[in-house]
Amino acid sequence: MNSNDKVGSGNLEKRESFKSSFGLLAAAIGSAVGLGNIWRFPYITGEYGGAAFLLVYLLSVAVIGIPVMLAEVIIGREAKKDAIGSFKELSPRTKWYSSGVLGVLAAFMILSFYSVIAGWTLEYLINSITNQFAGKDVVAIEAMFTDFISHPTRPIIWQVVFMGITALIVVVGVEEGIEKFSKILIPLLLVIVIILDIRAITLPGGKAGLSFLFKPDFSKLSKEAVLAALGHSFFSLSLGMGIMITYGSYIGKKENLGNAVLKITIADTIIALLAGIAIFPVVFAFGIAPNSGPGLVFITLPNVFPQIPGGYIFAILFFALIAVAALTSTISLLEVVVAYGIEGFNLSRKKSTIISFTLITLLGIFASLSNGPLSAKKFFDRNLFDFLDYLTANYFLTIAAFITSLFLGWKLDKKLVEKQLTNDGTISVGYLNVFRFIIKYVTPILIIIVFISGVFL
Ligand code: TRP
C-alpha cells in the first residue's frame, strides 16, 4: 500500500494490497488492541461480577466474534471497497449498506469518549514522569483520579491534544508508519503487562482477585451482563464498524483469511486477559471496589508501580504504550468517519478530517464534562460518557454485526464465500461448512436472543 492509498479512503484509483501478511496483521491488531483491552475489559468485567462474565465474553469472542470478523474480511476482500461501498458493490440497489452507516455513527460516538480516556493516559504519563504515585496510599491515588477527571479543563485539554494528533496522522496519511511502529510497541506492551501480572499475583491478598476473575459464580450473571459481554467482544475486536471490511479490502490474494482472523483474535484476547490478571489482584489486595467503573485501571495500577523495582520507568513505559495502543485505534476510528465524508459528501480528505475532528471533539468535550461539572445530566440513568459507551457497544455494534452476519449468510453468493476462504480453491479449509452454518444461523440467532433479553426482558 503506498501512502496515497489510505486505508478507508473512498476514492482509490488503484488499490494495492498490504505487502506482507504482517502489514495487514499489524494494522488489524493495532486497531483491535487498545483501550478496549486495557481499560474497558477490566472495568466492565469488574462491573458485571468477574469470572462468569469473562466466560460469556470468551464464548462470545469464539462463537460470534470470529465468524463476524471473518465475514467482514470476506466482504472487504471480495468487494475491495470501504465499509459502505462494499455493501453497495456486492448488492447494488439494496439497503444492506445501512449497517455501514450505523458503523460511521458508531465510530463517531465511540471516538468522542474514547479520546477522553486516551487523554487520561497522557495525564498519567506526565504523572509517571513527575513521579506522582510514589508515597501515596490508595485513598490519595483514588482522589488524584477523581479530582483529575472532574476538573473542568484538564482532561479536555488532553483529549483535544490526543484528537489533534490522530487527525494530523489521518490528514497526512502516515497511518502505515504508525502501524509499523506498533509492531514493536505492542509486544513491548505485552512484556510490561506480564511484569505487572507477576507483581500483582504475588501481592499479599492478590489471590482473591484471581478467584474473582476465574472462578465463575453464575448467580451473579444478569441478562444485561450477557449483552455487555457480546457488545464488548465487538468493541474489542473492532467489529461492527466496517473497519475489518476496509482492512479486508487490502488483504492480498494469497493470504489465508481464516488464519489471519484467528491470529488477530488470539492476540486481542490474550492482551485483555493479561490486563485483567494485572488489575484484579490489585483490586483485592488494596481493597478497591471491583465495580469502580471506568477509572479502574487508573486507580489500581498506580498503587503497584511504586512496589516494583524500576517501577518508575515501568509506569512511564506503561502509560506511553497504552497511549500508542489507543492511537492506533483512534486512527482507525477517525478513518471510518473521514472516509465517509470523502465518499458520501465529496469532501477533500483535509476538509473531511477537519470537520470530523471538530464535531467529534465537541461531543467528546461534553462527554468529558459529564464526569465533572455536567454529571447531573443523565441519559437513561447514565451520564453522557457512560451512555455513549453503553449505547455504541451494546446497540450499534451489535446491530451492525447482526446485519453483517445476515448479509454473509443469506445474501452473499455461497461461491464467493468459498472462493474467499479457499483462495480460489488453492487451499483447503475444513471449516467451510461449519462457518457457513454458524454465520447463517448461530450468530444471528444468538445476537437476537441476547439483544432482546438484554434490552427488553
Ligand atoms: N478495538 C479497539 C479497542 O479495543 C477500539 C476500536 C477501534 C473499535 N476501532 C474500532 C471498536 C472499531 C469497535 C469498532 O480499543
The pTM assigned to this predicted structure is 0.92
The predicted structure's pLDDT at residue 186: 83
pLDDT band at 263 (very low <50, low <70, confident <90, very high): very high
CA 376 to ligand 1 centroid distance, Å: 28
The mean-pLDDT minimum among 119-123, 319-323, 339-343, 403-407 falls in 339-343
Model pLDDT for residues 307-362, shown as the tens digit of each residue: 888 899 999 999 999 999 999 899 989 988 998 888 789 999 999 999 999 999 99
**Nearest of 425, 339, 384 to residue 100 by alpha carbon:** 339
Q: Three cell numbers at 447?
A: 445476537
Mutate to test the pocket of ligand 1, among 182, 233, 332 (most ligand atoms within 8 A of CB): 332
Per-residue pLDDT, 23: 63
Average pLDDT over residues 272-291: 95
Q: Which atom of ligand 1 is nearest to the CA of 241?
A: 14
What is the residue type of 397? Answer: L
Strand partners for 354: none
CB-CB neighbours of 210 under 10 Å: 17
Confidence band, pLDDT 50/70/90 cuts, at residue 3 = very low
As a whole number, mean pLDDT of residues 430-443 equals 95
Of residues 59 and 180, more confidence is placed in: 59
Residue 405 Cα to ligand 1 middle (Å): 19
Give pLDDT, residue 344.
Answer: 81
Q: What is the mean pLDDT of residues 157-178?
A: 88
Predicted pLDDT at 5: 42
In this structure, how many other beta carbons lie within 10 angstroms of the beta carbon of residue 381? Answer: 8
Q: Does the CB atom of residue 334 touch ligand 1 within 6 A?
A: no
Maximum distance among all Cα pairs of the chain, rounded to whole angstroms: 64
For the stretch 202-240, pLDDT in tens is 999 999 999 999 999 999 899 999 999 999 999 999 999
84 pLDDT band, cuts 50/70/90, is confident
The residue whose CA is least distant from atom 9 of ligand 1 is 238
Residue 179 pLDDT greater than 80, yes or no = no
17 ligand 1 Cβ < 6 A: no
CA–centroid distance, 236 to ligand 1, in Å, is 5
Band (195; pLDDT cuts 50, 70, 90): very high
SS3 letters for the chain? CCCCCCCCCCCCCCCCCCCCHHHHHHHHHHHHCCHHHHHHHHHHHHHCCCHHHHHHHHHHHHHHHHHHHHHHHHHHHHHCCCHHHHHHHHCCCCCCCHHHHHHHHHHHHHHHHHHHHHHHHHHHHHHHHCCCCCCCCHHHHHHHHHHHHHCCCHHHHHHHHHHHHHHHHHHHCCHHHHHHHHHHHHHHHHHHHHHHHHHHHCCCCCHHHHHHHHCCCHHHCCHHHHHHHHHHHHHHCCCCCCHHHHHHCCCCCCCCHHHHHHHHHHHHHHHHHHHHHHHHHHHHHCCCCCCCHHHHHHHHHHHHHHHCCCHHHHHHHHHHHHHHHHHHHHHHHHHHHHHHHHHHHCCCHHHHHHHHHHHHHHHHHHHHHCCCCCCCCCECCECHHHHHHHHHHHHHHHHHHHHHHHHHHHHCCHHHHHHHHCCCCCCCCCCHHHHHHHHHHHHHHHHHHHHHHHHHC
- pLDDT for 15: 54
Q: Which atom of ligand 1 is nearest to the CA of 393?
A: 13
Find the range with the poorest average confidence among 92-96, 279-283, 295-299, 356-360: 92-96
The Å distance, Cα 428 to ligand 1 centre, comes to 31
Q: What value does the mean pLDDT take over residues 82-100?
A: 87
Instruction: Tell me the CA–centroid distance for residue 401 and ligand 1, in Å.
Output: 14
State the pLDDT at residue 336.
87
Confidence of residue 420 (pLDDT cuts 50, 70, 90): very high
Using a 6 Å cutoff on CB, does residue 332 contact ligand 1? Answer: yes
pLDDT over threshold 50, residue 8: no
Report pLDDT for 185: 83
The mean pLDDT value of the chain amounts to 90
What confidence tier does 18 reach under pLDDT thresholds 50, 70, 90?
low
Per-residue pLDDT at 177: 67
Is the C-beta atom of 32 inside 6 A of ligand 1? yes
What is the distance in A from the centroid of ligand 1 to the CA of 306?
31
The predicted structure's pLDDT at residue 97: 87
Atom 8, ligand 1: residue with shortest CA distance: 238
Q: Find out whether the beta carbon of 264 lies less than 6 Å from any atom of ligand 1.
A: no
Contacts of 321 by beta carbon, 8 Å cutoff, 6+ apart: 185, 188, 189, 192
Q: Sorting pLDDT into bands at 50, 70 and 90, what band is 193?
A: very high
Residue 135 Cα to ligand 1 midpoint, Å, equals 35
Determine the pLDDT at residue 252: 82
Q: Which of 87-101, 217-231, 352-366, 413-427 has the lowest mean pLDDT?
A: 87-101
Report yes or no: 302 and 315 within 8 Å, Cβ to Cβ: yes
Q: How far is the CA of 326 from the centre of ligand 1 (A)?
A: 9
Percent of the chain exceeding pLDDT 90 equals: 73
Q: Provide, rounded to the nearest whole percent, the portion of the chain with pLDDT above 70.
A: 95
Residue bearing the CA closest to ligand 1, atom 7? 329
Angle at 419 between CA 413 and CA 421, to 5 degrees: 105
Within 8 A by CB and 6+ apart from 187, the residues are: none
